[in-house]
Amino acid sequence: MKYILIIGAGSDIARPLSYLYAKAGYGIYLASRNYEKLTRDANDLKIRYGIDAAAFLFDVTEATTHQSFYQSLPEKPFGVICLAGILGDQKKAEAEFAETKNIFDANFSGCVSIINIIANDLEQRREGFIVGVSSVAGERGRKSNYIYAAAKAGFTTYLSGLRNRLFSSHVQVLTVHPGFIRTKMIEGRNTPEMITATPETVAKDLFHAQQNGKDFIYSQWFWRYIMFAFTMIPESMVKKLDLK
Amino acid sequence: MKIKNWGNYPIVDAEMVSPSSVMEVKKAVCESNELIARGLGRSYGDSSLNQKIVSTLKLNHFLAFDEQSGLLTCEAGISLAEILDAFVPRGWFLPVTPGTKFVTIGGAIAADVHGKNHHVAGSFSTYVDTLKIIVSSGDIINCSRTVHPELFWATCGGMGLTGVIIEASFYLKPIETAYIRQRVIKTKNLAETFEAFENNKGWTYSVAWIDCLSKEDALGRSALILGEHALKDEIRYRYRNPLLIEKKFFIRAPFYFPDFILNTHTVKLFNELRYRTYRDHDTIVDYEPFFYPLDSIREWNKIYGKRGFTQYQFVLPRETSEEGLRKILQRISESGEGSFLAVLKLFGKQEGLLSFPKEGYTLALDFPITERTMKLFNELDALVQNFGGRLYLAKDVRMNKDVFSQGYENLKQFVDIKQHYDPANKFHSLQSKRIMG
């Protein structure tokens, strides 16, 4: 049985995503801070699909623990999917660097730390895949969330470099840029109904893109055009638009 | 948040919370003065509607499965569809299933649903071993036939009025294939229909589609559909894996149909055509078209238009069934208010306090909600009462107190148990306010 490891498995995308991989016959490792929830999720997967699943306590921001975490996995995974990330508090981050660092760690440096370790292993084994869920927010800073966006931009760039490095080792690296998703992350915020995806849709897009060997996708597809239009506007004009 | 159930009537503006853990449910129960649990909203009327609703949809984990006995333990928000997807390929089936798979386990227990096998297998609660319920004090109580049996019996069929069901253990039944051996018997009138039911009691599954607009000699003409789980030897070699079925495409009703689309003439035509397409024959079909013919049209409730619709489902005791059904069908046929779908079924014996089934015949009829049909329902109520019958709470949206209390003879016992566990009457729905006051 091939295993996949889901980092940030407390995310709302994790469950529908794990169903798709379990249905395809993969074993599932779930890792995040919310161990109790993950144990229930892993148990559910075992009963639902008759596959092997396990939960692991893991904090993406504690980089020093990552090496020993990866060593402790019973089977080395064939693929890793990184869903970790927090939106953070932009206003607080502007005032206190601690919050900024927190956002950077959860969305960027922590993810890089664990993916570095797994990338080295996969490179040696010359197989497998790495999926990073970044964000359309990373394509252009806006005043309401540019610290989060900057971390995501860093993550996207990291993944594209990693893709180039691992190409010759037959390791697939997929970057996913989702738009709005109806998850805990944006609970209470008003997002346009028409273009807000369900976690199930994003999970499906991610799964199919990964299975088809893609490098980069938007979820949902129309974000490609929205972001194209948005990034075409010159900075000199964008700053006057007073975007939220 | 605007919320409505399957009948699209009534629409209420409610506050809905969706807890994802038992602790969050507990918190919601402790913090509210009144609430009602809701799953996938497949009850037709106002059974799971109130100002404050706690949705169980995020309580959707399987917790344990015993391969030997088939005992499955899961959270209340798991749907029958999820169970079928997971367990049919492994040779297990639902012991009892209603006509849609898009209901939750919590809902199936609260309405104590029945299926086409009620005459031999009983209702869903027959297969329930234990329940975990959060009662009004916030306490989590495990109950079964031996532990807190009074709470167990009041909760099965209790429409969520005793508390929030959070977990259940129940038995699945083993099957050899995912296919059904089906037989169709066409009858010319009501007497023949009854005879066909009585002659075929040995079949596990039986249900009749009845043409409710036929008159005089043809009154009650039907197609009786019988079924039995197909054994491995009975299905042809072309099914490589007997437990797998083909994935089907489904269509979705695209919008609310204008109200005039379903009228006496179109319904009459539809019933006539459907009656004519049935032929006496035996076939092998997979379980989806057999049990869930309407699930292939998602949101089919929109064909009744924005006015909404309801299902009038009653059961009459065996002794009065034939005479009672004849009178009721005559009344409907005279009124010209044809029902698009009319389903007749024989029930067997039934335990429980508020469970709907009782030995006799049940008829279910869909009607749009209009002033005329509301008047018709009141007339039908009188007939049902006369013949000692009762109406199904999960389908009801307009029954009055009197019809309810006369139909359900164990009501007093139920109310006493509810009082004990919920003295402040925290759990109630728009329906319970209407029929229990």
Mapping DSSP onto H, E and C, the string for chain A reads CCEEEEECCCCCCHHHHHHHHHHCCCEEEEEECCHHHHHHHHHHHHHHHCCCEEEEECCCCCHHHHHHHHHHCCCCCCEEEECCCCCCCHHHHHHCHHHHHHHHHHHHHHHHHHHHHHHHHHHHHCCCEEEEECCHHHHCCCCCCHHHHHHHHHHHHHHHHHHHHHHHHCCEEEEEEECCECCHHHCCCCCCHHHCECHHHHHHHHHHHHHCCCCEEEECCCHHHHHHHHHHCCHHHHCCCCCC
**Over residues A158-179, mean pLDDT:** 97
Express each pLDDT in B284-340 by its tens digit: 999 999 999 888 888 888 888 888 999 999 999 999 999 999 999 999 888 888 787
For residues B95 and B98, what is the distance between their CA atoms, to the nearest angstrom? 10
Contact B25, B134 (CB under 8 A): yes
Say if residue B49's pLDDT is above 80.
Answer: yes
The percent of residues in chain B predicted with pLDDT above 70, rounded, is 99
3 state SS of B127 = helix
Q: What is the pLDDT of residue B300?
A: 87
Which of A:22-61 have CB within 8 Å of B?
37, 40-41, 43-44, 47-50
Q: What is residue B260's DSSP assignment?
A: G
Say if residue B350's pLDDT is above 90.
Answer: yes
Structure confidence at residue B120 as a pLDDT band (50, 70, 90): very high
Q: What is the pLDDT of residue A187?
A: 73
Facing residues of B366 across strands? B311
Q: How far is CA A174 from the centre of its chain?
A: 10
B86 at interface of A, judged by CB pairs closer than 8 A: yes
Q: What is the pLDDT of residue B162?
A: 97
Number of continuous H segments (helices) and E segments (strands) in chain B: 13, 22
- Order across the sheet with B36-38: list the strands: B15-17, B52-55, B36-38
The count of other CB atoms within 10 Å of the CB of residue B298 is 13
Gap from B413 CA to chain A (nearest CA, Å): 37
| B90 closest CB neighbour out of A43, A44, A50 | A50
Express each pLDDT in B357-416 by its tens digit: 999 999 999 999 999 999 999 999 999 999 999 999 999 999 999 999 999 999 999 999
B244 at interface of A, judged by CB pairs closer than 8 A: no
Predicted ipTM beyond 0.95: no
3 state SS of B32 = coil
Taking contacts as CB-CB distances below 8 angstroms, the residues of chain B near A40 are 61, 63
The count of other CB atoms within 10 Å of the CB of residue A157 is 14
Q: What is the pLDDT of residue A195?
A: 85
B278 at interface of A, judged by CB pairs closer than 8 A: no
Q: Closest residue of A to B66, CA-based? A: A47
Say if residue B101's pLDDT is above 90.
Answer: yes
Say if residue B238's pLDDT is above 70.
Answer: no
Mapping DSSP onto H, E and C, the string for B387-416 reads CCCEECCCCCCCCCHHHHHHHCCCHHHHHH
Contact B327, B316 (CB under 8 A): no
Q: Closest residue of A to B87, CA-based? A: A48
Taking one residue from A and the other from B, the number of pairs with CB-CB distance under 8 angstroms is 20
Q: Which residues of B353-390 are buried (b: 16+ CB within 10 A; e: fewer)?
A: bbbbbbbbbbbbbbbbbeeebeebbeebbebbbebbbb
Alpha carbons within 13 A on the beta-carbon side of A43: 15
Identify the residue whose tokens are 């299926």.
B115
Contact A119, A130 (CB under 8 A): yes
3 state SS of B14 = coil
Whole-number average pLDDT of chain A? 94
Query: Residue B27 corresponds to which tokens in the numbers above?
Result: 């918190």
**Over residues A214-221, mean pLDDT:** 95
Query: Residue B263 corresponds to which tokens in the numbers above?
Result: 């009228």
**Over residues B420-427, mean pLDDT:** 96
Q: How far is CA B185 from the centre of its chain?
A: 24
Q: How far is CA A195 from the centre of its chain?
A: 20
Say if residue A244's pLDDT is above 80.
Answer: no
3 state SS of B155 = helix
Express each pLDDT in A117-167 by its tens digit: 999 999 999 999 999 999 999 999 999 999 999 999 999 999 999 999 999
Taking contacts as CB-CB distances below 8 angstroms, the residues of chain A near B21 are 37
Q: What is the pLDDT of residue B269?
A: 82
Cis peptide bond upstream of B10, omega within 30? yes
Q: What is residue B256's DSSP assignment?
A: P
Handedness of CA A135, A140, A145, A149 (dihedral sign): positive
